[in-house]
């Protein structure tokens, strides 16, 4: 989304408070200028399977690839978050369906919350859900340490005004996580998207949040499902077959575009193994640009190894994905540190458009321990009071 500029100078990517807290000036994070003759990989936002296989074969033929895992990293991750699509054929394993009594409880909580309060002040105290709250607590455990995602279903947004439905999904989300993150320089915490691009997306994780919420106001005429995959399953396949790509993903030299801010880009890893958890945080948009927001000129592209690793994430995830049905009113919550997602191709018409609301969530008690680069990223989104509030 375009930034509002108050002068000809670019907006600083990190506020003064964050620069002081994390001693960013002392770390000298401003990256060096790129070499004018530097050649980068031919890779785009749109996935290209032929390019991926050709690049992979060329790198394997060249030999010299790392055959061991990064020091201290496990040969395989285990637990409920390691799954493939065939493990989750029964949607009852991840869909929380609302009964009549729970819908009535939500309506009562809505009335209670509207007694002199702004809708964005929704909290456990002013949006009481005694019975549904217990189910949401269990859902939170499943998001955090289980399969990594939950879909809350059977609430019709057309039954409510836009304001009331907003209060309801904010109320439900408060039982998943207490903090909502800023999503643009104006400090917006809710982002509404009516998607017009028909092509499918590649698998990715949203750049900054431990839990991502997607609320479906309306569905497309055809397609448009949000497809999910376990990044821990992806890790295990890479560890068994291409440990060299784990090294590539873990190296802190991936160039993230700040989209017109200062510095113009920064570098960090995509994959971390920290405090016993594998955290994958990879976004093609900020690494490759997007058709609606091309990559900033003059900043680095990806190496051949990085291009292969980024595409590998998509194609391995695609092998093991699950494509849950999508219904109007669905509220999807998933662990953004352990789940990759993408959108299938879609068709819209004037009567049926895929309309989502996106919320970045942070649960301080449940969020996995973060390495310093991600601590900085989380602080910029969830703590920085120098940027505007909603």
266: which 2 tokens? 């920064």
Backbone angles phi, psi at 39, to 5 degrees: -105, 130
pLDDT of residue 279: 98
Which among 266, 302, 259 is positioned nearest to 45, based on CA atoms?
302
Contact 73, 246 (CB under 8 A): yes
Residue 19 and residue 16: Cα distance in Å, rounded?
5
Residue 322 and residue 311: Cα distance in Å, rounded?
19
pTM, full prediction: 0.93
pLDDT of residue 390: 33
pLDDT of residue 305: 98
Looking at the DSSP assignment, which residues form a beta bridge with residue 151?
A: 95, 332
Residue 325 and residue 308: Cα distance in Å, rounded?
31
**CA 165, 171, 174, 175 torsion-angle sign:** negative
Backbone angles phi, psi at 333, to 5 degrees: -125, 125
Average pLDDT, the chain: 89
Residue 262 and residue 9: Cα distance in Å, rounded?
9
H helix runs in the chain, sequence order: 16-21, 24-27, 49-62, 100-113, 130-145, 162-174, 231-241, 243-250, 284-288, 304-319, 372-382
Tens digit of pLDDT at every position of the chain (390 positions): 333 344 566 788 999 999 999 988 876 655 666 677 789 999 999 999 999 999 999 999 999 999 999 999 999 999 999 999 999 999 999 999 999 999 999 999 999 988 765 555 787 788 999 999 999 999 999 999 999 999 999 999 999 999 999 999 999 999 999 999 998 877 788 888 766 667 888 999 988 999 999 999 876 666 567 899 999 999 999 999 999 999 999 999 999 999 989 999 999 999 999 999 999 999 999 999 998 889 999 999 999 999 999 999 999 999 999 999 989 999 999 999 999 999 887 666 666 676 789 999 999 999 999 999 999 999 999 998 775 433
Question: What are the Cα distances from residue 254, in Å, to 203, 220, 271, 299, 310?
Answer: 17, 34, 11, 11, 10
pLDDT of residue 350: 65
pLDDT of residue 30: 58
Using the structure block, give the residue that is written with the tokens 């990190």.
14
pLDDT of residue 78: 97
308: which 2 tokens? 């292969």
Using the structure block, give the residue that is written with the tokens 């976004």.
283
């Amino acid at each position: 989304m375009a930034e509002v500029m108050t002068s000809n100078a670019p907006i600083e990517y990190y506020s003064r408070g964050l620069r002081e807290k994390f001693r960013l000036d002392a770390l000298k994070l401003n990256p060096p200028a790129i070499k004018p003759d530097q050649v980068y990989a031919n890779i785009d936002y749109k996935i290209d399977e032929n390019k991926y296989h050709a690049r992979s074969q060329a790198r394997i033929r060249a030999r010299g690839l790392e055959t061991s895992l990064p020091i201290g990293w496990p040969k395989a991750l285990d637990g409920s978050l390691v799954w493939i699509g065939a493990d989750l054929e029964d949607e009852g394993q991840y869909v929380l369906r609302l009964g009549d009594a729970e819908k009535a409880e939500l309506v009562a909580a809505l009335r209670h919350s509207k007694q002199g309060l702004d809708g964005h002040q929704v909290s456990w105290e002013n949006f009481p859900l005694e019975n549904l709250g217990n189910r949401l607590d269990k859902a939170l455990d499943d998001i955090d340490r289980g399969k990594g995602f939950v879909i809350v279903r059977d609430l019709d947004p057309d039954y409510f005004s836009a304001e009331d439905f907003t209060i309801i999904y904010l109320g439900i989300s408060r039982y998943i996580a207490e903090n909502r993150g800023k999503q643009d320089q104006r400090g917006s915490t809710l982002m509404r998207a009516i998607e017009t691009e028909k092509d499918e997306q590649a698998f990715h994780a949203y750049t900054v949040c431990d839990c991502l919420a997607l609320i479906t106001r309306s569905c497309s005429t055809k397609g448009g499902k949000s497809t999910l995959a376990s990044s821990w399953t992806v890790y295990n396949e890479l560890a068994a077959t291409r440990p060299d790509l784990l090294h590539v993903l873990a190296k802190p030299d991936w160039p993230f575009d700040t989209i017109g801010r200062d510095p113009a880009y920064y570098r960090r890893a995509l994959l971390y193994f920290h405090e016993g958890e594998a955290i994958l945080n990879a976004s093609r948009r900020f690494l490759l640009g997007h058709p609606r927001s091309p990559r900033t000129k003059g900043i680095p592209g990806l190496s051949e190894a990085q291009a292969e690793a980024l595409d590998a994430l998509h194609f391995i995830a695609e092998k093991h994905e699950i494509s849950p049905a999508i219904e109007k009113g669905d509220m999807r919550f998933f662990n953004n540190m352990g789940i990759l997602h993408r959108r299938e191709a879609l068709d819209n018409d004037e009567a049926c458009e895929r309309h989502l609301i996106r919320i970045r969530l942070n649960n301080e008690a449940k969020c996995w321990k973060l390495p310093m680069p991600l601590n900085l990223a989380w602080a910029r989104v969830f703590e920085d009071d120098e940027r505007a509030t909603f």
